[in-house]
Amino acid sequence: MIPGAALTVVRNRLLRPNSRVETEHGRLLRAKARRKTLRHAPRRRPVGRSRIAGAILLFLALAVAGVEFLPRLVDLGRWQTQPWTDLVARYFSEPLSLMAGPQALPLWLAIAALGMLMIAARKARRRSGLPGAFTNAGAPSSVRDMQPAPGLELACALRSCKAAFAGVAAFSGMSNILMLTGAMFMLQVYDRVLPSRSVPTLVAMAILAAVLFVGQAVIDLVRGRIMTRIGAELDEAVGGRVFTAVSRLPLYIGQQGDGLQPQRDLDNIRTFLSSQGPSTLFDFPWLPFYLAIIWNLHPTLGITAICGAIVLVTLTAATEVFTRKPMGAAVSTGVRRNSFAEASRRNAEVLAAMGMGKRLHDHWREASREYLTQQQRVSDIVGGFGSFARALRLMLQSAMLGIGAWLVIQGEATSGIIIAGSILAGRALAPVDLAIAHWRNFVAARQSWSRLSKVLARLPQDAEPMALPVPRSNLTVERIAIGAPGTQRTIVQGVEFSLDAGSVLGIIGPSGSGKSSLVRGLVGAWQPLAGRIKLDGAALDQWSSESLGRYVGYLPQDVELFAGTVAANIARFDPGSDPQAIVAAARAAGVHQLIIGLPNGYETPIGEGGTALSAGQRQRVALARALYRDPFLVVLDEPNSNLDMEGEAALAEAILAIKARGGIVAIVAHRPNILTAVDFLLMMKEGQMHMFGTRQCVLSKIFPMPQVKGAGLQPVSASPQLPN
């Protein structure tokens, strides 16, 4: 059953689409072509009955060939009657005789079945128009450049390595065949060398066994290196998508959970592929092969080995059942523990200044204890079943020795069969023992695969919409509603206004009124729950994130710079940045003189988060980043919170410069001195637009003065309703 299932899986993999892992050079050459190709791979077709029948036919043919052909190839009776040199000469001088005659019919039947399956696979690929393992590189680009559907990237990446997996399977087969060296050597020593006392025969067999053992070591080494390369290839193929998912995930679920979990999941999968676990799975199908050889030695030994194999396979299934739930609980508690540690790291200064370290440590310790409890439970289960499996395997080897001795006493076997049967039984059940030992890693990799596939399915790659003209005219907000990612609560609702080029909007209101949430929606960081935000009549979702970023400058309330130089941060890490544009942005933010006063000027590293700069310097560098390449829409969330008088003067000049070149500025402010540069004011209250109009009209309404009239003020309902 196990070889049949394995062959069916291999058959299904061969008939599925093959998504090649692209190199960086190929991605650059086909960047433009991909915009016109399909973005999703077709649905995987279900495995037809004919394909299942083909796999069953192949398995039966191989089984019949093994039963009929192996006794002729390894005739133990003739080994006991013929000299060693004659036996070697026969198998090396007359190899074609083994492949001719009626006795070779099962072998040719197996080869024919395998050929039929390969032909069927090639025809199926031609009918579906999908590339095969040996597809010509000159195939149409619409076929070669098809991207896998979201969530299937991991499967497609592994399918692209199916040739490497085939090589691993071939090496595993050779390794398992060479594993017979020890048993056959012991059999010949007991049944041939000792009775005949022939030293030349012993030397010849020892040399041959040494060569075979060295060959087996080389094969195992190559197999391990191939699996390591497969893990690296998987990381190379999917790593970019995972990084994008990690960076975009907070925009969909907020800051809850461990944001780096997708990256850890990819590391778990790569580590598992590089371990001994997958090699064990490749050794599993050879279990019947060893059992057949043991049966060929004597049916009683075969029955004993089969019973032991059934018990060990049952233990493996029990390990799967009992470890599934504890492993899931261990992952969730581990995420909570890591979240506590990460929050403490980010707020180290607060913990030290306010004496909160001990209390946060207690919370972390509680989560850590729960995590360790689940881990211990998994270790106890796997360790318990592993101990029983090892004990059973040793017991089975001893039983094989005892039964072999009984058969020798009864005259039904030779003394060499005792040792050979014991060695073969241990080798046959070794994959089961190793599988239980590595089961924890296997379950962890499978859960990582499931979680990572769900994340990638939830965050598909951005499509490349048609390029739109550069926005130059207006910004329109149509009764939008905005809520924080990962929550069901609406923070902002019923906001609508329109601004023409060269306008400056000031957004004011008490704390918690939704100002920061509103500007996050204006720059496209948070998607509106209702309504639309448009630039020159086109909604923001009609641009890709990369395209929209060229026309938007954003200075968040909590400034965050990245590890790198000052110039790289201002240029938004653009590899083709223009030094003149960087200096122009720094001058517009009034920070040029400050930067050239640093030790290395624009090439000064600022450290993670910009720790080498003060809060005011970070804010001004972030302002220069927002002004890089003169974006049309500039959104500033409390840009003067850390600025001195000189910095505020530079900020006012930057706003006037944006206004003069025809840009639009939206600025959130608590200090009234920055409001002198605005044209319009939007007052937020309890998440709703409380007042909107020209600066003079809104201020006159807030601070009534006899000489100021309310002409031009637009009345707004205190509780606007969301559109249906």
What average pLDDT does this structure show over 521-528? 90
Cα 372 to Cα 338: distance, rounded to the nearest angstrom: 13
Cα 116 to Cα 266: distance, rounded to the nearest angstrom: 37
Handedness of CA 63, 66, 67, 68 (dihedral sign): positive
Q: Specify whether the CB–CB gap between 194 and 77 falls below 8 A.
A: no
Confidence of residue 200 (pLDDT cuts 50, 70, 90): confident
- Judged against a pLDDT cut of 90, whether residue 442 lies above it is answered with no
Cα 361 to Cα 357: distance, rounded to the nearest angstrom: 6
Strand order, beta sheet including 504-508:
538-539, 530-535, 474-483, 490-500, 688-694, 680-685, 504-508, 664-668, 633-637, 552-555
The DSSP annotation for 454-483 comes to HHHHHSPPPP-PPP-PPP-SEEEEEEEEEE
Q: Specify whether the CB–CB gap between 440 and 330 falls below 8 A.
A: no
Number of neighbours of residue 345 by Cβ within 10 angstroms: 9
Start-to-end CA distance of the chain, whole Å, equals 58
Residues of the chain with pLDDT > 70: what percent? 75
pLDDT of residue 408: 82
Q: At what angle do helices 439-458 and 299-346 cross, to 10 degrees?
A: 50
pLDDT of residue 127: 44
What average pLDDT does this structure show over 637-645? 84
What average pLDDT does this structure show over 716-720? 44
What average pLDDT does this structure show over 610-631? 90
User: Rounded to the nearest 5°, which phi and psi values hold at 361?
Assistant: -65, -40
Number of neighbours of residue 624 by Cβ within 10 angstroms: 28
Confidence of residue 91 (pLDDT cuts 50, 70, 90): very low
Against a cut of 0.75, is the pTM above it?
no
> Lowest-pLDDT range, 334-343, 409-418, 643-652?
334-343
The DSSP annotation for 224-258 comes to HHHHHHHHHHHHHHHHHHHHHHHHHTHHHHTT-S-
How big is the CA angle at 483 (ends 481 and 485), to the nearest 5 degrees? 140
Q: Which of 140-149, 216-225, 494-503 has the highest mean pLDDT?
A: 494-503
Confidence of residue 20 (pLDDT cuts 50, 70, 90): very low
Give the pair of three-digit tokens for residue 287. 């279990």
Cα 93 to Cα 96: distance, rounded to the nearest angstrom: 9
Rounded to the nearest integer, the mean pLDDT of the chain is: 75
pLDDT of residue 708: 47
- Judged against a pLDDT cut of 60, whether residue 372 lies above it is answered with yes
* Closest to 577 in 3D by CA, of 607, 603, 596: 603
Residue 572 backbone zone (phi > 0: left; psi -120 to 50: alpha; other: beta): left
Give the pair of three-digit tokens for residue 459. 């965050």
Tens of pLDDT, residue by residue over 445-470, are: 888 888 888 888 887 776 677 888 89
pLDDT of residue 498: 94
Q: Residue-wise over 625-658: b if at least 16 C-beta within 10 A, else e?
A: bbbbbbbbbbbbbbbbbebeeebbebbbebbebb
Number of neighbours of residue 149 by Cβ within 10 angstroms: 18
> Lowest-pLDDT range, 121-125, 190-194, 469-473, 578-582?
121-125
- The Cα diameter of the chain in Å comes to 126
- Judged against a pLDDT cut of 90, whether residue 623 lies above it is answered with yes
> Lowest-pLDDT range, 26-30, 315-319, 516-520?
26-30
pLDDT of residue 257: 59
- Judged against a pLDDT cut of 90, whether residue 261 lies above it is answered with no
pLDDT of residue 34: 44
Confidence of residue 10 (pLDDT cuts 50, 70, 90): very low
Confidence of residue 634 (pLDDT cuts 50, 70, 90): very high
Tens of pLDDT, residue by residue over 231-250, are: 888 888 888 888 877 777 77
pLDDT higher for 520 or 340? Answer: 520
Burial category of 466 from C-beta neighbours within 10 Å (exposed 0-12, middle 13-18, buried 19 and up): exposed
- Judged against a pLDDT cut of 80, whether residue 509 lies above it is answered with yes
Q: Which of 206-215, 449-458, 527-536 has the highest mean pLDDT?
A: 527-536
- Judged against a pLDDT cut of 60, whether residue 606 lies above it is answered with yes
pLDDT of residue 582: 94
Q: Which of 47-56, 154-163, 646-655, 703-712 has the highest mean pLDDT?
A: 646-655
pLDDT of residue 674: 80
Within 8 A by CB and 6+ apart from 606, the residues are 561, 563, 564, 565, 566, 569, 612, 613, 621
Cα 382 to Cα 440: distance, rounded to the nearest angstrom: 7
